[in-house]
């Protein structure tokens, strides 16, 4: 058998942040060092682990000689080639990542908020200093979606990337659908199960998903998408009634993050979405994530797996460490750049210009001509209907009328909604949820 080409100099790793993920990564690097060295062709040495609180690291049994409370002992150690940032947050983490790169160290991070906010600046700095910046664990936990976009699909023109990227929200919607729970009950259950954070705001208001689709869209389209340009609507307004109504129409409500290239422009958005009940994404349940990528010549691909948790996230962090270590060991940095800028950036479309299909639930008085009055407001703004469903109503009670529309512009729908809600026959604010797929 031909002997594997080896480079005997060790590649050294320093970890900043020894919480659940940091400790998982450290333990794996120590336990698997022989297998990793064999795989790489050179030793991969965990040189230092820093955290301001080392209690967790000690509980995990990490060797005391590796531990320090001082991040600078990692950043300033000239022997360390790769800094793994697992501190979280965007202040100290940003400082450490930038300092590491300025000192010529490669960086691996799981920090989606940092990348989403400062990805362009960090990539520019990485290029200026000739170092790698990898962040597979920032989106989709253990699903290798970033590597797929960066490398596997390098031959493709990407048309869209979208999916379920927040496990907490998917768990909540799954429980609302399966057990008829209201949002608050399902959230409590998610917290009791340990899926939702003590402060679940980032998840349920959609900011976590916005970070993730920002990163995926930026890589897919080769231009860094500023977070404020991504439309976001969380799941706090989704009700058991709408889930049930969607179900009657043959749909499931999922929380989607969507980025599309259309008509020479790009847009990205995060919101609750009706999906046909038979579609693959509609059947992704619990805390699982799934991301669909459409491109040419590849067509449609779907990635599915655990989007969070120690094991899935550690798997992605270690994959990045090995990728960078190969570059270091074989001196093949920039084999494929972590981020390839598009030759010609495309304009970002505002949400008002985005076209989708829509579900409307109107609450009205029970009187002849109500459906006609609502349809008139839609029709006069060029919004056509694909179906109307009127729930059977007891005489004198409120009517619930469901409308499904053809593809229409968001600004036209918003104008129609305002007019519908002003109609004297309409007795509660009309619920609107966007429907996908909306291409046809």
Catalytic residues: 212
- Residue 300 gets the label, from left (phi > 0), alpha (psi -120 to 50) or beta, of beta
- For ligand HSE, which stretch binds (CB under 6 A), given 162-170, 259-267, 278-286, 389-397? 162-170
Please pick, from the candidates 168, 177, 218, 400, the single residue that binds ligand HSE as defined by CB under 6 A. Answer: 168
Binding residue for ligand HSE, selected from 308, 378, 401, 408, defined by CB under 6 A: 308
Per-residue x/- mask for ligand HSE, residues 177 to 216, rule CB under 6 A?
Answer: --------------------------x----x--------
**Contact characters 258-297, ligand HSE, x per CB under 6 A:** ----------------------------------------
CA distance 53 to 160: 42
Which of these segments, 4-12, 125-133, 164-172, 255-263, binds ligand HSE (CB under 6 A)? 164-172
Tokens of 11: 């590649």
CB of 205 to ligand HSE, least distance (A): 12
Question: Which pair of structure tokens corresponds to residue 13?
Answer: 């790793």
CB 366 within 8 A of CB 398: yes
Tell me which of 14, 295, 307, 329 binds ligand HSE, using CB under 6 A.
307
Distance CA 254, CA 167 (A): 11
Binding piece for ligand HSE, criterion CB under 6 A, among 38-46, 148-156, 161-169, 272-280: 161-169
Tell me the closest approach of the beta carbon of residue 139 to ligand HSE, in angstroms: 8
Query: Does position 430 bind ligand HSE by CB under 6 A?
Result: no
Q: Tokens 């579900």 identify what position?
A: 359
- Rounded to an integer, what distance in angstroms lies between the CA atom of residue 127 and that of residue 121? 10
**Quick check: 289 and 170 in contact, CB under 8 A?**
yes
Closer to ligand HSE by Cβ: residue 43 or 307: 307
Q: Is 17 in the site for ligand HSE (CB under 6 A)?
A: no
Nearer to ligand HSE, 168 or 430 (CB): 168
Distance between CA atoms of residues 186 and 18, nearest Å: 31
Please name every residue paired with 427 in a beta bridge, in sequence order, or none if there are none.
none
Beta carbon nearer to ligand HSE, 207 or 357: 207
Q: Which is nearer to ligand HSE, 14 or 214 (CB)?
A: 214
Task: Please identify, using beta-carbon distances, which residue of 14 and 141 lies nearer to ligand HSE.
Answer: 141
Nearest of 155, 159, 151, 99 to residue 129 by alpha carbon: 99
433: alpha, beta or left, given left = phi > 0 and alpha = psi -120 to 50? beta
As given in the structure block, the two tokens for residue 299 are 């067509």
Q: Does 167 bind ligand HSE (CB under 6 A)?
A: yes
Least distance CB 111 / ligand HSE (angstroms): 10
Q: Cis omega before residue 297 (within 30°)?
A: yes
Omega prior to 101 cis, within 30 of 0: no
> Three-state DSSP class for 308?
coil
Residue 174 interacts with ligand HSE (CB under 6 A): yes or no: no
Residue range at the interface with ligand HSE (CB under 6 A); choices 152-160, 166-174, 256-264, 417-425: 166-174
3-state helix, strand, coil in the chain (%, to 5): 40, 25, 35
Q: Is 111 in the site for ligand HSE (CB under 6 A)?
A: no
Output 166 or 227, the one with its CB closest to ligand HSE: 166
CA distance 258 to 256: 6
Per CB under 6 A, residues contacting ligand HSE are: 166-168, 203, 208, 307-308
């Amino acid at each position: 058998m031909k002997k594997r080409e080896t480079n005997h100099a060790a590649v050294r790793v320093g970890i900043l942040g020894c919480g659940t993920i940091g400790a998982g990564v450290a333990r794996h690097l120590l336990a698997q060092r022989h297998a990793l060295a064999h795989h790489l062709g050179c030793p991969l040495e965990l040189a230092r682990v820093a955290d301001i609180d080392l209690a967790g690291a000690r509980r995990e049994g990490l060797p005391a000689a590796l531990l320090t409370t001082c991040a600078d002992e990692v950043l300033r150690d000239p022997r360390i080639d790769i800094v793994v940032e697992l501190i979280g947050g965007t202040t100290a983490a940003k400082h450490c990542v930038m300092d590491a790169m300025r000192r010529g160290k490669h960086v691996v991070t799981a920090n989606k908020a940092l990348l989403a906010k400062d990805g362009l600046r960090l990539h520019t700095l990485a290029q200026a200093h000739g170092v790698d910046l990898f962040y597979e664990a920032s989106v989709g936990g253990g699903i290798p979606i970033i590597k797929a976009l960066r490398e596997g699909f390098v031959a493709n023109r990407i048309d869209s990337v979208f999916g379920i990227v927040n496990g907490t929200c998917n768990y909540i919607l799954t429980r609302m659908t399966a057990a008829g729970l209201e949002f608050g009950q399902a959230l409590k259950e998610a917290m009791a199960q340990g899926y939702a954070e003590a402060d679940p705001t980032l998840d349920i208001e959609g900011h976590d998903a916005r970070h993730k689709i920002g990163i995926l869209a930026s890589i897919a389209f080769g231009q860094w998408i500023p977070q404020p340009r991504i439309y976001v609507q969380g799941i706090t307004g989704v009700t058991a009634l709408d889930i049930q109504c969607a179900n009657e129409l043959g749909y499931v409500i999922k929380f989607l993050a969507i980025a599309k290239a259309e008509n020479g422009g790009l847009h990205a958005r995060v919101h609750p979405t009706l999906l046909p009940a038979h579609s693959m994404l509609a059947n992704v349940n619990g805390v699982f994530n799934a991301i669909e990528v459409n491109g040419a010549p590849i067509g449609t691909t779907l990635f599915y797996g655990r989007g969070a948790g120690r094991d899935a996230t550690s798997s992605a962090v270690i994959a990045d460490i090995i990728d960078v270590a190969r570059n270091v060991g074989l001196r093949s940095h920039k084999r494929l750049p972590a981020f390839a800028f598009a030759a010609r950036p495309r304009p970002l479309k505002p949400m008002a210009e985005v076209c989708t299909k829509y579900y409307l639930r109107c609450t009205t008085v029970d009187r002849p001509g109500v459906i006609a009055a609502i349809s008139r407001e839609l029709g006069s703004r060029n919004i056509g209907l694909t179906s109307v469903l009127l729930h059977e109503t007891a005489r004198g009670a409120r009517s619930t009328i469901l409308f499904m529309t053809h593809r229409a512009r968001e600004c036209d729908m918003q104008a129609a909604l305002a007019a519908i809600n002003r109609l004297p026959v309409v007795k509660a604010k009309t619920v609107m949820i966007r429907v996908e797929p909306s291409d046809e």
